Structure 1
Amino acid sequence: MIGVDLGTTSTKAVLFDDRNQVVASANKGYQLYRDIPDMAEEDLNEIFEALIDALSDVVRQANLSEGNKISAVSFSSAMHSLIAFDKNWQPLTRVITWADTRAVKYTEELKRTGLGQEIYQKTGTPIHPMAPLSKLLWLKTEHEDVYNQAAHYLGIKEYLFHRLFGVNKMDISLASGTGLFNIFNLDWDEQALSVTGLQKAQLPMTVEPYAYETNMAAEYAAVIGIPADTPFVYGAGDGPLSNLGVNAIQPGVAAITIGTSGAIRVVADHPVIDPKGRTFTYALDKEHWVVGGPVNNGGDVFRWARDNMFDAEKSTAALLGTDAYDLMTQIAARVPAGSEGLIFHPYLGGERAPIWDANARGSFFGLNHGHTRAHMLRSVLEGITFNVYMVSLALEEVVGDLKSIQATGGFARSPLWRQMFADIFEQPVTVPEAFESGALAAVIVAQKALGQIDNLNEIEKYIGSANTYQPMPENFQAYRELAPIFIRLSRQLQTEYENIANYQRKHSK
């Protein structure tokens, strides 16, 4: 089987054998267009070509001529994307991704009127520019020509299925992240439709993650190199599948993912709503509901530090054929826990949980003559971690105490960062061996869809060995003192985020 991970900047296809061991993988990148401030779009054709290229690549590696067969292809997909199409299915927009924040004005209006909270209570999607709900209000007001022509609205995975199979369907996992879907009656929400001015007919039919399509268009089946009747399973959103992929679907077991962005999530057996609107509730399937908070600022902030403060290490790593991030973490490790009183708020790209403020901006606090770029680097890593910890405090108010943490994503490859999470959370952090957790989870969904397994808990057999990092008491004191300062500061700075963001928009080139 092939598990496909549709990401924000690349699509990865991972080939698993019948024992769920990775046989081959292919990763095809594409550009995230940021032509103007707050924009974050993708090109439809670039993503479609990346999918076809990645699938054909791993199929070539599968040696189908030796009697092997691709029994299914299944999907994990980035959430919250929106594409408008006219009545002839011609695209009117590029893919407007979760990272696009041009709808911030309409988000704030929704919050002020109280309508936002009413809709959140039924949809489980926090009121934020990431959500298609807000994007539609932005289109309706600022791009009336597009809005008036639009006969269909899809996300990226729905577009790919439409192009391959001619269908118009969306799994309930991705639907639950639109802000338009009632997670209690499992249908498009009437109030959300009324606010955006949409008709149900403009949105896809919703299906279970276990639904699948066959009879692919012959031209694409031929290019990929598989029979046209190969089942393509819808799968689910990348957040819910990340929990499944690290076997964090039992109550109280949290999954922390830090990739470009990040999240902390736990699974409940029913939708759970935060009265304060800080957490999301998305479906994995009808029996598993993922409650958590996403952060905009994860590995991309580490990358920003690399590109802007560590040019020498970047060049050295290129010459030596090593990873610049490894050199950087060695530098950060020389600085004691707490960065000697330097605090970094990592809000370079606005922020979702826990403050849900697209105007948020990053800052160093406490900088003095004794601080070096090594301190700044460590405080960047600590700031990202403190922010996820702040989300966890809100999450515990909603779902109860966290019992353990499973970690995945790019940060899980850094021993320093893993230890930092254990120390700040004062909890053991376990890192499963399987790094392709999203693709593996998609394959587990496909196996259930095809009747090969009865229960998602089967994934436990395939996680592999794990490393567990225990909290180090010698670091507790620094983090216990700094965490409250980090949290209080984030609240105090919120009073000025809108002002500085507006200044930046006004004066940006």
Structure 2
Amino acid sequence: MKYIIGTDLGTTSTKSILYSTDGKVVAYSNVEYPLYHDKPDMAEENPEEIWNAVVKTIKSVGEEVDKDQIIGISFSSAMHSLLLLDENNIPLTRVITWADNRAVKYATKLKNSELGQKIYEATGTPIHPMSPLSKLIWLSEENADLLVKSRWIIGIKEYIIYRLTGEMKMEYSIANATGYFNLHTFDWDDQALSLTKATRDQLPELVDTDYTIDHLTSEAAKKINLNQNAAVTMGASDGALSNLGVGADRTGVAAITIGTSGAVRVMSNKPYLDPEGRLFCYYVAKDHWIIGGPVNNGGQVFRWVRDYIYDNESNEEIQNKRDPYDRITKDAANVPIGSHGIIFHPYFSGERAPLWNTDARGSMIGLTTSHTRADIARAVLEGIVLNLNQVLKLTESATKVNEIRATGGFARSTLWRQILTDVIGIPITIPESFESSCLAAAVLGLKAHGEINSIDKVHDMIGNTKEYAPISENHKQYVQVNKIYELVGKQLEPIYHDLAHYQRNLSQEMD
């Protein structure tokens, strides 16, 4: 028997899953780490904390079988991260994540220019502070010396694979999300790069998503307790792999994912570029592209409920080795649709789709003295889903959606599943495998090793699925809630800029 490890480098945790070659889950491990918000627009990770999580999770799942049977590791990773290394390959920065909005001024200027749309049409990456393109423009203007000192300009996946193998590569899927990769030529885009003051020599060699490095360094092999000849397959972005991992790889089938962030994505056999630059278009594998819209605010917002609304009880649950989210969703399930009149917009980290407004801020309207924290918990769940529903409508400009596959940490919650199908008004299918990105990464690895002939084999590995259908009366109620949700959003949008500007000024005064 042979085994492969699928590892997902998420924004707030790393997950590793050990699979047999027929896609059966053998072992699972998850290690969390913080996302640093030292300033309102900052969102960074510590690369050493992520490395330690990778080591711990891979070592943990690998211990379940003889290490001689493990053929390798394949990776999934969050998109849009930026990490600068010096000439000794030591980090000069923390990992600047997709959620970091400090490049807003430069992204807005580029987006409002004719050049912005041209770059989007070349790269498929919407012009937004999330992208490494915007971040590099920001650094070149405000911290040019840092770029001069940088030997490598990469993301977190490239860094982890370098630590494991000693080789510096970047695969097409992650490169496609940088904003300076040309999806037509499969090469770095000179026009976009010229805006950043970065050079081609600072960027890694580009390879396909199934590219495999056939060894580990001796130091890494010891740390993760695998043989040195265990191979590392590059894998792809978490969004790209999530669609593949739930079987949403056919026309008309959308994947809705909520992890720390969230997204609505459809797959196509060729690129699609939105005339208004509102949708991303990223490579997955040969003849596989994902088109869709990302949201900043998914599980991280519900985590806020856990940490600040249910803080004492959550700590007690964790100490007793129980999942604190179970208690919160149990409370929320006892609250009726509409959360007793609370309307929540989940824009804690600005918002990408559907607003593409970095200045957007979270809001909760309708509170009275009769409301409870259970009402707030329900309102947060509903607000996240209502926002995703807006993105689904936007995505349908590319293709009509008639089937939904849902995945991510929220898919574990029966309450969330029902809220989702009731809001969108069509059935959703939940695969047995919740960690779809890990599964799809493993599938890419298995194909690279010759264990399977095609990545379509993933359909045989997804396992059992369960369908949730909307309750007609619930959907009717959510149609009414959605009208208020949209109305409130339109009323708030004009003040987002002033509020965000005020917050930034406060932050500068504190510094």
TM-score, scaled relative to structure 2: 0.94
Which residue does the alignment assign to 2:97?
97
Q: 2:31 aligns with which of 21, 24, 28?
A: 28
Query: Kindly tell me: are residues 132 and 456 of structure 1, through their superposed partners in 2, closer, same or farther at Cα, counting changes over 3 Å?
Result: same
Contact 1:122–1:182 (Cα < 8 Å) also in 2: yes
**Counterpart check, 1:413 vs 2:416:** no
Task: Give per-residue Cα distances to partners, 1:237-258, cap 9 Å, x unaligned.
Answer: 0111111111111111111111
Match of 2:335, SS state, is coil
2:183 corresponds to 1:180:
no
| Aligned residue number for residue 78 of structure 1 | 78
Higher mean alpha-carbon deviation, 421-430 vs 278-287, is at: 278-287
1:49 to 33, 44, 52: 52
Distance in 2 (alpha carbons) for counterparts of 1:89 and 1:355 = 37
Contact conserved, 2:170 with 2:205, CA < 8 A, in 1? yes
Partner of 2:350: helix, strand, or coil?
Answer: coil
Contact map agreement 1:177 1:282 (CA 8 A) in 2? yes
Correspondence 1:352-431 to 2 at 5 A? 352-368=352-368, 371-398=371-398, 400-431=399-430
The 8 Å contact of residues 257 and 407 in structure 2, kept in 1 or not, is answered as: yes
2:118 maps to 118
AA at the equivalent of 1:53: K
Choose the corresponding residue for 1:12, options 9, 12, 15.
Answer: 15
5+ residue gaps, structure 1: none
- The 1:286/1:19 distance shift into structure 2, 3 A limit, reads closer
- Checking the alignment, whether the CA contact within 8 Å between 1:4 and 1:442 is kept in structure 2 is yes
Partner Cα separation in structure 2 for residue 329 and residue 432 of structure 1: 21
Show the 5 A alignment for 1:55-66. Answer: 55-64=58-67
The answer to whether the Cα contact below 8 Å between 1:347 and 1:361 also exists between their aligned partners in 2 is yes
User: What is the alpha-carbon distance in structure 2 between the residues aligned to residue 329 and residue 56 of structure 1?
Assistant: 32
Residue in 1 aligned with 2:191?
Answer: 191
User: Counterpart of 1:305?
Assistant: 305
The aligned counterpart of 2:443 is 444
Q: Alpha carbons of 1:321 and 1:94: their partners in 2 closer, same or farther (altered >3 Å)?
A: closer
Query: Identity percentage over the alignment?
Result: 49
- CA gap of 1:498–1:225, structure 2 versus 1, over 3 A, is same
Shift of residue 54 of structure 1?
2.3
Residue type matched to 1:500 in 2?
L
SS of 1:61's equivalent in the other structure is coil
- Per-residue deviation, 1:147: 1.7
Corresponding position of 2:233:
233
SS at match of 2:112: helix
CA spacing shift, 1:454–1:360, aligned 2, 3 Å: same
Secondary structure at the aligned position of 2:91 is classed as coil
Q: Aligned pair in 2 of structure 1 residues 275, 416: CA closer, same or farther (>3 Å)?
A: same
Match of 2:323 in 1: 323
Are 1:4 and 1:439, in contact at CA under 8 Å, matched by a contact in 2? Answer: yes
From the superposition, tell whether residues 451 and 316 of structure 1 become closer, same or farther in structure 2 (CA, over 3 Å): closer
The offset of 1:189, in angstroms, is 1.0
Change (3 A) 1:375 1:119: same
Partner of 1:500: 499
Deviation at 1:43, TM superposition (A): 2.2
Partner in structure 1 of residue 314 of structure 2:
314
Structure 1 equivalent of residue 489 of structure 2: 490
CA contact (8 A) 1:279 1:354 kept: no
Partner of 1:454: 453
Aligned-partner residue type, residue 355 of structure 1: L
State the Cα distance separating 1:334 from its structure 2 match.
Answer: 2.6
How far apart in 2 are the matches of 1:56 and 1:332? 37
> Counterparts of 2:352 and 2:233 in 1: how far apart (Å)?
30
Match of 1:294 in 2: 294
Contact 1:81 1:155 in 2 (8 A): yes
Task: Note if 1:468 corresponds to 2:471.
Answer: no
CA distance in structure 2 between the aligned counterparts of 1:258 and 1:403, rounded to whole angstroms: 19
**Aligned equivalent of 1:432:** 431
Once structures 1 and 2 are overlaid, which stretch shifts more, 466-475 or 211-220? 211-220
Q: Whole-Å Cα distance in 2 between the matches of residues 309 and 224 of structure 1?
A: 37
- Cα distance in structure 2, aligned partners of 1:42 and 1:465: 35
The DSSP-based 3-state class of the residue aligned with 2:267 is strand
Supply the distance in 2 between the matched residues of 1:185 and 1:315 (Cα, whole angstroms).
Answer: 51
How far apart, in 2, do the equivalents of 1:53 and 1:311 lie? Answer: 27
SS at match of 2:195: helix
After superposition, the C-alpha distances for 1:251-301 in whole angstroms (9 at most, x for unaligned) are 111111111111111101111111122211111113110111111111111
Partner-residue secondary structure (3-state), 1:71:
strand
The structure 1 segments of at least 4 consecutive aligned residues displaced by more than 6 Å after TM superposition are: none
1:338, CA displacement in angstroms?
2.3
Post-superposition Cα deviations, 1:357-394, rounded to whole Å, max 9, x if no partner, equal 12110112334565443333222111100100000010
Query: Residue 348 of structure 2 contacts residue 361 of structure 2 at CA under 8 Å; is this kept in 1?
Result: yes
Q: CA deviation at 1:412?
A: 0.9
CA contact (8 A) 1:9 1:31 kept: yes
Q: Quote the Cα distance in structure 2 between the aligned partners of 1:223 and 1:288.
A: 35
Contact 1:265 1:291 (8 Å CA) reproduced? yes
> SS at the partner of 1:337?
coil
Contact 1:128 1:134 in 2 (8 A): yes
Displacement, 1:4?
0.9
- Mapping 1:133-172, distance limit 5 Å: 133-172=133-172
Q: Confirm whether residue 349 of structure 1 aligns to residue 349 of structure 2.
A: yes
Aligned mates of 1:447, 1:306 — CA distance in 2: 38
Shift of 1:502: 1.4
Aligned partner of 1:447: which letter? Answer: L
Pairwise mapping of residues 188-337 of structure 1 onto structure 2 (< 5 A)? 188-311=188-311, 313-314=313-314, 317=317, 322-337=322-337
How far off its partner does 1:495 sit?
A: 1.6
Between the aligned partners of 2:223 and 2:323, the Cα distance in structure 1 is 35
C-alpha spacing 1:27/1:381, structure 2 compared with 1 (3 Å): closer
User: Structure 2: which amino acid aligns with 1:198?
Assistant: A
- Separation (CA, whole Å) in 1 of partners of 2:308 and 2:188: 44
TM-superposed CA distance for 1:156, in Å, is: 1.0
Kept after mapping to 2: 8 A contact 1:76/1:235: yes
Q: Is the 1:24–1:62 Cα contact (8 Å) retained in structure 2?
A: no
Q: How far off is 1:319 after superposition? A: 7.5
CA distance in 2 between counterparts of 1:317 and 1:165 reads 39
Q: CA deviation at 1:316?
A: 6.3
Q: Secondary structure at the match of 2:71?
A: coil
